[in-house]
């Protein structure tokens, strides 16, 4: 098991450098000059050049990237150009809100999607099966921001059941969590149904039924566990997607998380904060994948041997 984890950790190293290089390159090529933005409209060219020199913006691209990686390796993600606070402090202040939203969303999505997929597979070609798959198709097709706006209009503005924006109470979490988790619930439901149907058709399931075992025992003890591998893959991937996809939801619901901070920093050309936020989301995604890989080996020991 330790060798399995060690191999997965080694795989994360090139992914880390790839993510940092791509994000650094995109931000460097994006239009706008942060030095001019910091200097203000009345600044002279001398003032702008001084700011570029102060933040190292006058150096070649590769030099800036090497300096950035060196600083990151020491835990220094730079200083915000907008607030003059350290990037780590800016990002970590918003991090709990994003984890709260993504965590609740993935729990809701996993519970709804998993049990909906099981019931649909166990009652194949029934009204519930067709109905749940149609609803899941709509869930996959609907953009997150559109669903969030519709939920806000109906449940916050028209009915007044929940607050429209902000964070603070459990009621503030309901609409953004459901809006963010709806797409993932649909994906998990369809994957669970597909995986379970494939397992149910196997010979050993028919043998278990022929022995006279109760259908509940056959389904949950024999079929569901063997159908878990692809479902766990989707759940893990969806949690990573929710961390990055929360950018839209946090913007719509004014949720004070990393996603909203990223949008605000993009508008302000605050490149260090944007890079720090992207790096945090990428690390989260990599750690989730690592956790899923370890969980694979626990559920199916054959993966460890391979």
Domain segments of the chain: what residues? Answer: 2-73, 99-256
pLDDT in tens, 241-264: 777 657 778 888 888 888 888 888
Distance CA 85, CA 81 (A): 8
**Computed from CA positions of residues 163, 149, 278, 54, in that sequence, does the dihedral angle turn out positive or negative?**
negative
Confidence of residue 304 (pLDDT cuts 50, 70, 90): low
pLDDT value at position 63? 79
pLDDT band at 201 (very low <50, low <70, confident <90, very high): confident
Interval 9-42: pLDDT, tens:
777 788 778 878 887 777 666 666 666 666 666 6
Mean per-residue pLDDT of the chain: 78
- pLDDT, residue 42, reads 67
* CATH top class, domain 99-256: mainly alpha
pLDDT digits (tens, 9 = 90+) for 33-48: 666 666 666 667 777 7
Tokens of 222: 């024999």
Query: Is this structure's pTM higher than 0.85?
Result: no
- Between 153 and 220, whose confidence is greater? 153
With a cut of 80, say whether residue 64 has pLDDT above it.
no
Q: In three state form, how does the secondary structure of the chain look?
A: CHHHHHHHHHHHHHHHHHHHHHHHHHHHHCCCCHHHHHHCCCCCHHHHHHHHHHHCCCCCHHHHHHHHHHHHHCCCCCECCCCCCEHHHHHHHHHHHHHHHHHHHHHHHHHHHHHHHHHHHHCCCCHHHHHHHHHHHHHHHCCHHHHHHHHHHHHHHHCCCCCCCCCCCHHHHHHHHHHHHHHHHHHHHHHHHHHHHHHHCCHHHHHHHHCCCCHHHHHHHHHHHHCHHHHHHHHHHHHHHHHHHHHHHHHHCCCCCHHHHHHHHHHCCCHHHHHHHHHHHHHHHHHHHHHHHHHHHHHCHHHHHC
Least reliable range by pLDDT among 55-69, 153-167, 269-283, 290-304: 290-304
What is the mean pLDDT of the segment spanning 288-301? 70
pLDDT confidence tier of residue 267, bands split at 50, 70 and 90: confident
Q: What is the mean pLDDT of residues 215-235?
A: 74
User: Residue 93: is its pLDDT beyond 60?
Assistant: yes
Does 232 score more than 70 pLDDT? yes
Residue range 101-143, pLDDT digits in tens: 888 888 888 888 888 888 888 777 888 878 888 888 887 788 8
Average pLDDT in the 186-202 region?
Answer: 82
Rounded Cα distance between 86 and 274, Å, is 12
**Highest-confidence segment of 81-95, 217-231, 281-295:** 81-95
């Amino acid at each position: 098991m330790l060798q399995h984890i060690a191999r997965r950790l080694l795989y994360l190293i090139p992914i880390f450098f790839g993510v940092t290089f791509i994000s650094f390159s995109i931000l460097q090529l994006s239009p706008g000059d942060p030095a001019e933005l910091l200097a203000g409209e009345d600044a002279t060219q001398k003032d702008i050049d001084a700011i570029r020199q102060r933040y190292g913006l006058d150096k070649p691209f590769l030099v800036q990237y090497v300096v950035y990686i060196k600083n990151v390796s020491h835990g220094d993600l730079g200083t915000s150009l907008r607030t003059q606070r350290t990037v780590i402090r800016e990002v970590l202040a918003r991090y709990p809100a994003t984890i709260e939203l993504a965590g609740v969303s993935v729990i809701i999505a996993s519970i709804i999607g998993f049990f909906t997929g099981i019931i649909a597979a166990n009652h194949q070609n029934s009204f519930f099966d067709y109905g749940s798959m149609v609803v899941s198709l709509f869930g996959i097709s609907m953009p997150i921001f559109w669903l969030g706006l519709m939920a806000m209009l109906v449940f916050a503005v028209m009915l007044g059941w929940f607050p429209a924006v902000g964070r603070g109470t459990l009621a503030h979490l309901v609409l953004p969590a459901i809006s963010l988790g709806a797409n993932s619930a649909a994906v998990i439901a369809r994957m669970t149904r597909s995986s379970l149907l494939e397992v149910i058709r196997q010979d050993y399931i028919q043998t278990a039924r022929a022995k006279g075992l109760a259908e509940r025992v056959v389904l949950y003890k024999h079929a569901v566990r063997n159908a878990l591998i692809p479902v766990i893959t989707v759940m893990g991937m969806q949690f990573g997607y929710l961390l990055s996809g929360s950018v839209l939801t946090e913007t719509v619901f004014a949720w004070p998380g990393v996603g909203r901070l990223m949008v605000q920093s993009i508008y302000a050309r605050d490149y260090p904060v944007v890079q720090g936020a992207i790096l945090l989301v990428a690390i989260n995604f990599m750690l989730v994948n690592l956790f899923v890989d370890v969980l694979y080996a626990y559920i199916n020991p054959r993966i460890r041997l391979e």
